[in-house]
Amino acid sequence: MEHGFLRVGVANPEIRVAEPEYNAKAVIAAVLEAQKEGVDVLAFPELCLTGYTCGDLFFQKTLISGAEKALEKILKSTENADMLICVGLPVSHENKLYNVCAVLNKGNILGLVPKTHYPEYGEFNELRYFTRAEKPQVVTLASRLCAMAQAVFKANGEITVGVEICEDLWAPCPPSSDCAALVTVNISASSETVGKAEKRRTLVSSQSLRTCSAYAYADAGRGESTTDLVFSGHGIIAEKGKILAENKPFGNKLLTFADVDIDFLIHERKKNNTVSPNVAERATAEFVLVERDGKIARNVSRLPFVPQEENGARAELILTMQAEGLRKRIEASGAKKLVLGVSGGLDSALALLVCLRALKLSKMPPKSLLALSMPGFGTTEETAQNALILAKESKAEHRCINICESVKKHLNDIGHDLNLRDIAYENAQARMRTLILMDIANAENGLAIGTGDLSEAALGWCTYNGDHMSMYGVNSSVPKTLVKYLVRYEAKRIGGATEKALLGILGTEISPELLPAENGKISQKTEDIIGSFELNDFFLFYAVRCGCTPQKTLLYAAAAFGGEPGEYAASLARFYKRFFASQFKRSCSPDGAKIGFSLSPRGDWRMPSDASVNLWLDECGLKNV
């Protein structure tokens, strides 16, 4: 596909043991179906042209010849199939039998990859039939001279595909660990036993994570002999530890496929110097794939930073990480108090909840938290009450300091018209609050805790040397969508008046409340100014975290939110402009524990503060948006 996607599929045709001609027809039918779906790389099970469970029939020349004829039929029928096809069969060479994967493209055999590790335990005794290929050999198969070796198949200059066969994945050192191709295909015949499916998932996902690659696993299914075993047709496609698609055991789907993001894998490898592909040390066969346009065949969540599980385990882990980071800072600094500004907003609510956990870990009472309300020109009664309830229910010390008169005096001192509600008018309030928090923290031998989140840091939605600054930022690696998730989790867990207050905060428009309210209601709505946090977090994940191009980010957005990619161009342009313009704030950000992805200059992101954004805007014609 275009934009660096590769559609990878695993097939599960129903075969007949020792009937290669029938099996060839089943393979061809699956290839035709895969063609309709635009599959680029397609894997079939191990020894699928004969069946894995042939036993001593493998010694029969009739069966081996039948498999070769079946392969010839497949080659002829797939001459126009623009895909890489991996199919398993037994191959006889110099009086030895080999278990191989034939790698095909447009009617040609690009290579034969032999199995490396043969199981000799339990129900498996493959060395009774097959020989290990100790060195590369030239084999005559289907009237062609073919290289039989551990090879890598390379398409369009940078896409590399490696092959393993079944037990190779279960070995302590799988061939894919050494080769580290961007995509590894495993053709398998793994019998089903209780608990084995979960082990396969773990192996496939972990190997794709370890090698920073995609891994496609095609297991044998219906049609294999059930004399002593049963096969489930388990198919798995994973990308860097994440399972993209699965034909669950006994799911009986003919075809399972997903779009692997090759550009993302390359992006991750560039950042990770421990993944060292040895592709150059292997035989290489090149082929060409035609780029196809179309919709993305993979699940794209609208909330990529938010856990998909519902049992709360991930929420507990994140909150514990935040709290442990703060606990260590309390211990290292010898702080006696935590000083926190509570506004009745989402970020300060989460920060308060984390502070309480950190104090508990530090064996300090809730009174060691000073929750400070600092109402200003735009503070509404609703947010003020929610802040008060949270502070009281948490049993923290609560104080209220109205900053209006102090800010007015300050504005008068610098000759600023109080009726001019510009950026200076707004930022004076944010800086006044930070000044108060810092000074009280000094007076109380405490730490001024920052509330700003990852989304605000990305968009520069914070006042430089105001709420931008703190002595420790507990939310610095938590994007806004994840803040909402965590607050909702804590609301349900705690219950009572705290739950009611937290749900009230979740239902309130996000606002810095720096402009006077209108009829008691919030007048300054953040998302009206900078756009939806849901969409901005989505852009942050794909454009920054994953390194996607603007066009690819728009394609992902359309897959997640619906519509056409161009509908999101203006929003993406706004994100890029704010992101580039705000780097100077991130360059001097306070400490804060990394949760998943960090924009700290000491963490995941380093960037000059005066970089030009035009190249990114130009790529999608966004420059003038």
Cβ neighbours of 326 (radius 10 Å): 27
DSSP 532: -
Contacts of residue 313, defined as CB under 8 A and 6 or more positions apart, other chains included, come to: none
Q: Is 25 a catalytic residue?
A: no
State the DSSP string of 144-163. EEEEESSEEEEETTTEEEEE
Q: Is 96 a catalytic residue?
A: no
Judge contact between 376 and 430, C-beta under 8 A: no
Q: Is 115 a catalytic residue?
A: yes
CA distance 490 to 487: 5
Q: Which two tokens stand for residue 1?
A: 């596909």
Contacts of residue 121, defined as CB under 8 A and 6 or more positions apart, other chains included, come to: none
Find the angle CA(36)-CA(39)-CA(41) to the nearest 5 degrees. Answer: 145
Which of 54, 146, 166, 462 is labelled catalytic? Answer: 166
Cβ neighbours of 554 (radius 10 Å): 25
Contacts of residue 195, defined as CB under 8 A and 6 or more positions apart, other chains included, come to: none
Cβ neighbours of 549 (radius 10 Å): 16
Judge contact between 167 and 190, C-beta under 8 A: no
Which of 19, 46, 164, 382 is labelled catalytic? Answer: 46
What CA–CA distances, in Å, run from 19 to 48, 51, 224, 228, 276? 10, 8, 11, 20, 42
The angle, 0 to 180 degrees and rounded to 10, between the axes of the packed helices 569-581 and 550-561 is 130
Cβ neighbours of 266 (radius 10 Å): 15
CA distance 246 to 221: 14
Which of 48, 54, 68, 115 is labelled catalytic? Answer: 115
Q: How, if at all, do strands 397-400 and 183-188 pair?
A: unpaired
Task: Just list the catalytic residues.
Answer: 46, 115, 166
